[in-house]
Amino acid sequence: MSKHFNIVVIGAGTGGIMAAAQIKNQRKDLSIAIVDPADTHYYQAAWTLVGAGTYDYEKTGRPMSSVIPSGCEWVKDFVTTIDADNNKVATKSSGELSYDYLVAAPGIQIDKDGIPGLKEGLEKGIVCSNYTDPKKVWENIQNFKGGNAIFTQPTTPIKCGGAPQKIMYLADDYWEKTGVKSKTKVVFPTPGSVIFGVPEFAKTLNQVIHRKGIHFKPFYAITKIDVEKKEVHFTNAKPGENDCTINEGEGLGERLDGNSTFVLPFDFLHMAPPQSAPDFIKNSPLSNGSAGGWIDVDINTLQHKKYPNVFALGDSAALPTAKTGAAIRKQAPVVAANVLAHMERSGLSDKKYEGYSSCPLVTGYGKMVLAEFKYDNVRDSDPFLSKFVDTTKENYSMWILKKFGLPFMYWNFMMKGKM
């Protein structure tokens, strides 16, 4: 069985829904199929708050049928292969879908097997992650009675690169209020070299970790979780550039195993799992062939470098910027405009994506830094908002934006293709 559409959209996450809605709003006559097997669409940006006990998990999800744009056909199925040379997408049980244009927004997949011990740790509840089960994170934060609390992330790109430290700041706040902080050492080992890539925001975050007494360990690349011993292993992410050293005065019980493995015991461990493009993207001609298998697009037009009738946005696109919903908000109008322009005159519009992304860095209950930036880690804060608020500083108003304003904007405007 085969069915033809003007546009096939892969993925009904933020990117797929926004792009489809914006195209449909401008050209109601087009036939658009959105392929996604999920029953529920989640506003994942709120999962950090769920993990800190300050947002209802049930409010982060809505039935997928409620967000599919009017006039689009929802193909509730899995994509198995992409034949871009013949403009076809194969599905698990719905047959082939042929297209004039393909918009790929399949999101990102979580690889629980990417680090030895991670899957076992998550299953046993010894390791927790806002990326997989934010309710379990909140449970573990409440049950924690002291010791080493480690928050870490992999060497792969991840959804919202700031998320692993946001939950750390909130947990630290909670333990301060409940009297557990005095018996706790909070540790942030990261394969990165700095707390945040944009200097203007890194300055504030360095003040936050200093104020909270958090042990920041750059160039720590996680290699293994020993679930039985409750230890996590790291290696130097940049040998020769930085020598990871054990500071006995920290009282963390850290030790050197062999010549290059640093071992930290833990009593609480939050882990952002390794992530990559979905397998069907990695194995497709759309992939750039890198370890993550990202979709090979022009970073400004979002058009595929080999297939001119293919565009991509969201977490699976090979773009050198943070993978966030805020980034997609700027990408979707570019994809919509370029698809329509190419459809009408085989050219592109004058719209360009300049790498904008935003990371609402929650630094505690009632505090947030709104980090907005573009390609090359250049600050790109909204000029209107900046007239009233210094978004490089911790603000209560930004916390209100995160908890109430952004979810409202998401469901009522972004999902309807209105922004």
Its pTM stands at: 0.94
Judge whether 318 and 328 are in contact, CB under 8 Å: no
Q: Any idea which residues carry the catalytic annotation?
A: 160, 359
Give the residue among 51, 47, 114 at the shortest CA–CA distance from 325. Answer: 47
Distance separating alpha carbons of residues 372 and 211, to the nearest angstrom = 23
Tell me which fold the domain 112-274 belongs to.
FAD/NAD(P)-binding domain (3.50.50)
To which residue do tokens 């490089």 refer? 392
**Whether 182 contacts 218, CB under 8 Å:** no
Q: What is the 3-state secondary structure (H, E, C) of 81-123?
A: EEECCCCEEEECCCCEEEEEEEEECCCCEECCCCCCCHHHHHH
Q: Kindly state the tokens that stand for 54.
A: 């300050």
DSSP 8-state secondary structure symbol assigned to residue 358: E
What is the predicted pLDDT for the residue at 367? Answer: 96
Closest to 5 (Cα-Cα) out of 92, 75, 100, 85: 100
**Class of residue 218 by CB neighbours under 10 A (exposed 0-12, middle 13-18, buried 19+):** middle
**Given this model, what pLDDT does residue 240 score?**
63
- CATH 3.50.50.60 domain span(s) along the chain: 2-108+277-354, 112-274
Number of C-beta neighbours around residue 337 at 10 A: 20
What pLDDT sits at residue 248? 58
Pick the CATH number of 2-108+277-354 from 3.20.20.60, 3.40.50.1980, 3.90.226.10, 3.50.50.60: 3.50.50.60
Whether 26 contacts 336, CB under 8 Å: yes
Contact 275, 110 (CB under 8 A): yes
Cα 292–chain centre separation: 14
Per-residue confidence (pLDDT) for residue 111, from 0 to 100: 95
Spell out the per-residue pLDDT of the chain, length 419, in tens: 689 999 999 999 999 999 999 999 999 999 999 999 999 999 999 999 999 999 999 999 999 999 999 999 999 999 999 999 999 999 999 999 999 999 999 999 999 999 999 999 999 999 999 999 999 999 999 999 999 999 999 999 999 989 999 999 999 999 999 999 999 999 999 999 999 999 999 999 999 999 999 999 999 999 999 999 999 999 988 776 655 555 656 789 999 888 889 999 999 999 999 999 999 999 999 999 888 899 999 999 999 999 999 999 999 999 999 999 999 999 999 999 999 999 999 999 999 999 999 999 999 999 999 999 999 999 998 888 888 899 999 999 999 999 999 999 999 999 999 87
Q: Are 392 and 385 in contact (CB under 8 A)?
A: no
